[in-house]
Amino acid sequence: MRTLTGAARLAGVLGWPVAHSRSPLLHGTWLDRHGIDGAYLPLPVAPAEFSVAVRGLMALGFRGANVTIPHKEAAYALCDERDAAAERAGAVNTMVFKDGRIWGSNTDGWGFCESLREQAPAWRADAGPAVLLGAGGAARAIAARLLDEGCPRLVLVNRNLDRAMALAADLGGPIEVAVDPPLAGASLLVNTTSLGMHGEPPLIIDLSPLPTHAVVADIVYVPLETPLLAAARARGLVGVDGLGMLLHQARPGFSAWFGVEPVVDAALRAVVAADIPLT
């Protein structure tokens, strides 16, 4: 049984709201698994109080924190140092506090690709074009990572073409924009929008033009089996759910704060999945 002492290592997740986050369950499972004297807390912080809250956590001796909606850009601005992924994404989801300074990283794109490798072992970034639905923060992080891993052509699909074009210009590289997804010949289709999430309209898309080797990924994880993934599996395509991205993006932060390199395995997935509706 894990016990907290006065020397406990502390971290958490900053969001507004944050009660829905599965990160405390995820990190708590790792803490229990390794018997670490530490805790990971949900930290609801209004946007106007974000910088004050972060400085307060540092004063209290926290090792760092994850950052979720709507604070990722504010965290980017607050950091003293940022890694290349955060610079590319223009957002920070993981902060490490050390010697009175804030080091920021963005592990979303890395976590997404690690999830692809886990759930679709045959996938390779350089296998063919990738089509991303959406042009928000998640799309930016994932697009940057796919390009860095050798994706030969990336298509951003968004109803607001100006937003997609701005993102393409920021990232550079072999990127195109479109209103309708060009699926013929694509090796990867990724939904980075909220469509299909519990309480949101489903994502309606004709997957028939996709080749049989294509992988379909959805970063939505509530529910685990979105309508998009159900449609992909019905066609015999490999589907990758959003839970894997959530699990893998957490690994670097946990390692930095608690001093142990955690493992994503079937047991961890089962614990977190049990807290998520299947449909």
C-alpha to C-alpha distance for 124 and 259, rounded to whole angstroms: 31
pTM of the prediction?
0.94
My answer on whether 36 and 77 are in the same domain is yes
- Same-domain pairing of 178 and 195: yes
Question: What pLDDT band is residue 277 in, cutting at 50, 70 and 90?
Answer: confident
Q: Which domain holds residue 216?
A: 109-244
- Of all residues in the chain, the percent with pLDDT exceeding 70 is 99
Q: Are 144 and 88 in contact (CB under 8 A)?
A: yes
Average of per-residue pLDDT across 103-128: 96
Q: Give the amino acid at 261.
A: E
176 shares its domain with 90? no
Q: How far apart are CA 3 and CA 193, in angstroms?
A: 40
147 and 233 part of one domain: yes
Note the pLDDT of residue 150: 95
Q: Are residues 224 and 237 in the same domain?
A: yes
Domain presence at residue 88:
yes
Q: What is the pLDDT of residues 65-95, one digit of tens each?
A: 999 989 999 999 999 999 999 999 999 999 9
Domain match, 42 and 82 both: yes
On the question of pLDDT at 228 being above 80, the answer is yes
- On whether both 263 and 192 belong to a single domain, the answer is no
Tally the domains of the chain.
Answer: 2
Q: What is the pLDDT of residue 207?
A: 97
Residue pair 30/262 in contact by the 8 Å Cβ criterion: yes
Candidates 9, 63, 71, 72; catalytic one: 72
Find the mean pLDDT for residues 207-220: 96
Give the list of residues 6+ apart from residue 191 with CB closer than 8 angstroms, or none. 133, 134, 203, 217, 218, 219, 220, 226, 228
Tell me, yes or no, whether 86 and 119 share the same domain. no
CATH number, domain at 118? 3.40.50.720
Judge whether 146 lies within some domain.
yes
Is residue 98 part of the annotated active site? The answer reads no
Q: What's phi and psi for 217, nearest 5 deg?
A: -120, 145
* Percent of the chain with pLDDT strictly greater than 90: 89
Of 98, 3, 95, 4, give the one whose Cα is nearest residue 54.
95
Q: Report the pLDDT value the prediction gives residue 198, as an integer from 0 to 100.
A: 85
126 and 227 assigned to the same domain: yes
pLDDT higher than threshold 80 for residue 257: yes
177 and 268 fall within a common domain: no
